[in-house]
Amino acid sequence: MSRSSLALSNLRGYAIVMVVAFHAFIAYLGSQPASPLPFDEPPFGWRANPIVDSARWFGFDLFCAFQYIYLMHLLFFLSGLFVWPSLSRKGARTFLYDRLVRIGVPFAVGLYVLMPLSYYPVYRVTAVDPSWSAFWSYWTALPFWPSGPMWFLWVLLLFNVAAAALFWLAPHAGEVLGRLSGNAGLYPGRFFLALVSISAVAYLPLSAVFAPWEWAQFGPFALQPSLAPQYAIYFFAGLGIGAFGLERGLLEPDGMLAQRCWRWLAGTGAAFLLWIVPTALIVNGTSLPGLQILADLGFLLCAPSACFALVGLFLHTTRRHRPVLESLADNTYGIYLVHYVFVLWLQYFLLGVALFAVAKAAIVFTGALALSWATTAAVCHLPIGARLMGRKPRELVRARGRRQPVIAGLDPAIHPLRKKSSYEGDGPAGQARG
């Protein structure tokens, strides 16, 4: 496996670990409501604050705020990297069928099976009748179907459909996008400014109407109105970079982005401060001219800066294969799908336990990650589970010898796509499995 592929594999694992940590820490934010929120009363604030614990630490507020700014941008960017090579190899029809199986089916299972299981403990916190039958009556009476983390899947599927339509209408569009992103390896700052400029055009008009943390819900389909266009921009930015090649351009292991990753990390810290300080003042009722402009500018700078910093950092530091990280990368999709069930139940069981917030958060995080990891590995032993996870059944893998690591871009769910490097015989785009 090439260094770029290995770095992306490790970055994918990091991203999913951050997703689990984000959800594990939410119950212990210092800014949580004073008491649990009623399950059956508008505006149904338990969707954002499912479990409310009395143990709190302000450090988790800073951590979750930072992850909120960039993490989903990174996931959509990684998801786009392998789309065009897959389209070029399979064609639009086969590609769409594959995505419907790998994204659509898990979305339906997650929505109608995993989400009720996840939110049942949330109902029990304030319920007079904690039985499942009573919960189901309240659940089906809601004016929407809570989707939790599953929202990512339907949005990702929508972007994949758009990419397939683009391929069908303009088969060479990916190569054009790839050429446009080709100079990013030598001049990552220019690519960064272009990404910020395009994001500003998409974000600023909507931010005047919708806050970054505001959600819209249409039945089982949820999204953030102010951020959805940005997610599309990052997805198609990843598509263009992936079309140009994994070992070239922005993703070159010894390129400018990797060499200067520490500068990008410092810039990310500065951009986060530019966002968090005016945002905190606004939330606390401070009214000063220019505060919202500064907050919007910090938001627009922090998301791409963090993505660039992390990509560069993993390209710079990844040198060799590590079995634990390979296993994590192999199981990221399943971890994303099932982790919310374990997170909310563990938070529920720790209510009333006399522990500090940091201790509770550590228990929830490590427990949810371990249980999700083990569950995914077990499911992948089944042929249908391996198919939905984009994995080959374990017995077939063993028959072929040592299993090759997955090097996919993240479909957070991340649908594992195997890809050869440019020097393995299939050209700069490589060959994506899946």
pLDDT band at residue 311 using 50, 70 and 90 as cut-offs = very high
- For the segment 182-218, what is each residue's pLDDT rounded down to a tens digit? 777 788 999 999 999 999 999 999 988 888 888 999 9
Highest mean pLDDT among 4-8, 237-241, 391-395: 237-241
Neighbouring residues of 201: CB distance < 8 A, sequence distance ≥ 6:
none
Tokens at residue 268, please? Answer: 């990310």
pLDDT at 75 over 80: yes
Segment (H or E) for 222:
strand 221-223
pLDDT of the residue at 413? 36
Q: Which residues pair with 222 in a beta bridge?
A: 217
pLDDT of the residue at 427? 30
Give 100's DSSP letter. I
Q: Let me know: does 321 contact 267? Beta carbons within 8 Å.
A: no
pLDDT of the residue at 388? 79
pLDDT at 89 over 60: yes
pLDDT > 90: percent of the chain? 67
Segment (H or E) for 368:
helix 357-379
Q: Where are the domains of the chain?
A: 3-424
Q: Is 285 helix (H, G, I), strand (E, B) or coil?
A: coil
pLDDT of the residue at 27? 97
pLDDT band at residue 78 using 50, 70 and 90 as cut-offs = very high
- For the segment 393-415, what is each residue's pLDDT rounded down to a tens digit? 544 444 344 444 433 333 333 33
The Cα–Cα gap between 427 and 166 comes to: 22
Tokens at residue 414, please? Answer: 């991340």
pLDDT of the residue at 409? 37
